[in-house]
Amino acid sequence: MNYQLSLRDVTKKFGEVTAVDSVSLDVKKGEFLTLLGPSGSGKTTTLNMIAGFEVPTSGTILLKDRDITTVAPNNRGIGMVFQNYALFPHMTVFDNIAFPLKMRKVAREEITKKVQYVLEMVQLPGFERRYPYQLSGGQQQRIALARALVFEPEILLMDEPLGALDKKLRDHMKLEIKHLQQSLEITVIYVTHDQEEALTMSDRIAIMNYGRIMQLDTPVGLYESPANLFVADFIGESNFLEGKVIDTDSEGVCIETNQGIKVWAEFGTRISVGDEASVAIRPEKVSIFADEDTVPSEMVNSYRARVDEVIYVGDANVYKVRLNKGVTLKVKAQNVRPGKGFNKGEGVIVAWQLRQCRALR
Ligand code: ATP
């Protein structure tokens, strides 16, 4: 496979702090790859090493087959957009966008053509003579994007580019960036701590924690098949039932919780009998039935429970239910027939299939 960018065992230490710990990563041409993780997990440091603003303590960065680990930022052919726009305040829009071209000694007519072209691309034609202070936040961000795209970089790096914008504008720019990326077939490496942003924009997401990649997968892969407890907890919402593995077969694993409830789950990680593990179940994967209903036979996990709390969230009801042995679960049920939900205090059955929950560590 021909990768556009590869990180091989890249580590960055700042004194005692290991900001990035042995990260290896391959990015395909035209891919939208996001680094997602909590604050301090090493996302920006990783991006800065790709850009050339930081040099790795160890490891190698390859652009196609070229080792760029210590190459200066302006010799990498990589564009970059930051959260705080970083437009030059004393320069017009034209001069801001032309800047990278002037640095590269591009001819004047060529510059004018290219600036016009990218301004149309970001839907701001005719804005050449304005100054940054005469633009809204969203417009400034689009100019920053135009400036990063004008020298046709092979890779575009974006660090929380929408962080300073209000929600509505962020939602709009999210789609605009994605469309632009697809039509230009440009490779984007994007940093955010906003999971919704990551899930809607990315082809693949690297979930980072403590400087390491916890899982690298498609949005669906991360949500449906988290590889560990951190990812199951970080992406979306999960119930966790802690216990010990008491049995396994070809389909999955049986975990007995500390309260004595047995749950059959699919393997999320390699575990064997005797290991401590947790079962992760998404609230929307749990079905809720009336006390007298017959539960479908494929739902091998089936328990009597009582409704402790009902939360109406419009399209769904969220129930907090308590199983006989004191275990509580959150259940999200689509609001198919308004007024036909369950009430607080009611006895119910909650049930789910083996493949709807995962045994993880
Ligand atoms: P955020 O979402 O808050 O921006 P991040 O995931 O981008 O966080 P980094 O900025 O890469 O995280 O930081 C990773 C770790 O490295 C943190 O513990 C941070 O304090 C530390 N760090 C980053 N830059 C430096 C530096 N120049 N000197 C010392 N420590 C640093």
CB 218 within 8 A of CB 204: yes
Query: Could you give the percent of the chain with pLDDT greater than 70?
Result: 99
* Confidence (pLDDT) at 77: 85
Residue 124 and residue 143: Cα distance in Å, rounded?
Answer: 8
Interval between CA 37 and ligand 1 midpoint (Å)? 12
CB 27 within 8 A of CB 50: no
Is CATH 2.40.50.100 what the domain over 237-360 is classified as, yes or no? Answer: yes
Interval between CA 193 and ligand 1 midpoint (Å)? 13
Topology of domain 5-230, per CATH?
Rossmann fold (3.40.50)
* Confidence (pLDDT) at 163: 82
* Confidence (pLDDT) at 69: 97
Instruction: Give me the amino acid identity at 197.
Output: E
* Confidence (pLDDT) at 70: 95
What are the pLDDT digits (tens) for 252-305? 999 999 999 999 999 998 899 999 999 999 999 999 999 999 999 999 999 999
**Residue burial 109-147, b: 16+ Cβ < 10 Å; e: rest:** eebeebbeebbebbebeebbebebeebeebbbbbbbbbb
* Confidence (pLDDT) at 46: 97
* Confidence (pLDDT) at 141: 86
pLDDT lower than 70: segments of the chain: 1, 84-85, 338
Q: Give the mutation target among 44, 159, 191 for probing the ligand 1 site: most ligand atoms within 8 A of CB.
A: 44
* Confidence (pLDDT) at 16: 94
Same fold, 5-230 and 237-360: no
**56 CB near ligand 1 (under 6 Å):** no
Q: CA distances (Å), 303 to each of 116, 242, 317, 332, 343, in order?
A: 65, 16, 19, 16, 18
* Confidence (pLDDT) at 52: 94
**355 CB near ligand 1 (under 6 Å):** no
**12 CB near ligand 1 (under 6 Å):** no
Interval between CA 242 and ligand 1 midpoint (Å)? 32
Give me the helices (H) in the chain, please. 43-51, 93-103, 108-121, 137-149, 167-184, 195-201, 219-224, 229-234
Domain ranges of the chain: 5-230, 237-360
Interval between CA 43 and ligand 1 midpoint (Å)? 8
* Confidence (pLDDT) at 165: 77
Q: CA distances (Å), 178 to each of 33, 145, 195, in order?
A: 11, 12, 16
Instruction: Give me the amino acid identity at 323.
Output: L
